Amino acid sequence: MNSLKKLLFIISLLLPATSYAGIPLLLTDVSAGVFRFQMSLADQGNPEAQYQVGEMYEKGKGVPKDLQKAQSWFEKAAAQGHKKAAYKILYNEIQTNGLNDYSKTQLGVLRQESASGNADAQYYLGKMYAAGVGVPKSLNNALTWLNKATFNGIPEAEHEAIAVEEELARIRANEAKKRAMALEASKQKKAEEQKLKAQKLKEAEDKRKAEEARLVRQKELELKRTAEERRRLEAERAALAREKAQLEQQRSKRAAAASTAASTEEVDEPPKNEKFETDPCKGPQARFLSTCR
C-alpha cells in the first residue's frame, strides 16, 4: 500500500495541474493525485477503487467532503461483491438509523465472518465495538478484533487500535485518579470518624470524671452533714445530761432541804398524845381551876 501511494505521488507530480469533475487539483497535493488516480480506476468499474473513492469523499481527503457521494461509491463497490464496502454500508446504516431486522441479520453475518478470519469483517466489528454501533461499546472487545484485523493485514485497523489503546489509557488514568481520590476521601473520612470517635470518648471520659467528682463531693457533703449531725446529737445529749444532772442535783437539794425541814419540825412540835409532866390539878393553882373542884 505504501509503495502504491509513492507511485501515485510520483504520477501526480508528473501530471499537470488540472481539475477532475470540476474539482481543482494541485501538483503539491498528494491526496488529490491519489484521488484522481483512484477515480480513474473507479470510473472503469474497479470495486476497490470505488471503495477508496468513497473513503476519500467520506473523509474529505484529496477532495471536498461529501457523504452522499461517498455512500454512492460504497454502494457501487458493494454491488460488485466488495465485502469491505458492504461492511462500510452496514456500519453507516446502523450508526445512522440504528438496528432493524435487516441490519441485525447482516450484523450476525459480520460476526460469523469475523470469527471465520475475514480481516475486513474483523476490522469493522472492532470499529463497531469501539463506537458502540450496533453493539454495546466495549473498548476491550474493540481492541481484540482490531488487533486481529491488524495481524491479518488491515493497516487501518492498526490506527484504530492505537486510538482505542489511547482511549483505554485515558480511561484507566481517569479511573486510577478516581480511585486515588476515592481512597483519599476514604482516608479523610476515616480520619474524621476516628477524630470524632476520639472526641466522643474524651467527652465521655470527661463526663465520667465529672460524675465521679460530683459523687465524691456529694459523699463528702453527706459525711460532713453526718459528722455535724453527730456532733449536734452529742451536744444535745451532753446538754440533756447536764440538764438531767442539774435536775438530779436540784432534786437532791430539795430532798435534803425537805429532810432538814422535817427534822426541825419533829423537834419543835410535841407529840400529839404526850401528857404534861405535872398535873394542873395538883399544883398550887388547882383551887382556882373549876375543873379541879
- pLDDT tens digit string along 199-247? 999 999 999 999 999 999 988 888 888 888 888 888 888 888 888 888 8
Grid coordinates of 19:
481539475
Check: CB of residue 168 under 8 Å from CB of residue 143. Answer: yes
Q: What is the pTM of this model?
A: 0.57
CA dihedral 188, 189, 191, 193 (to 10 degrees): 160
Question: In 3D, which of 92, 150, 142 has the Cα closest to residue 119?
Answer: 150
The pLDDT value recorded for residue 19 is: 41
Tell me how far the alpha carbon of residue 79 is from its chain's centroid: 59
pLDDT of residue 29 exceeding 50, the answer is yes
Sign of the C-alpha dihedral computed for residues 80, 82, 83 and 86 taken in this order: negative
- pLDDT tens digit string along 57-86? 999 999 999 999 999 999 999 999 999 999
CA 55 to CA 152: how far, in whole Å?
21
The pLDDT value recorded for residue 288 is: 59
pLDDT of residue 153 exceeding 80, the answer is yes
CA 86 to CA 78: how far, in whole Å?
5
CA dihedral 148, 152, 158, 161 (to 10 degrees): -10
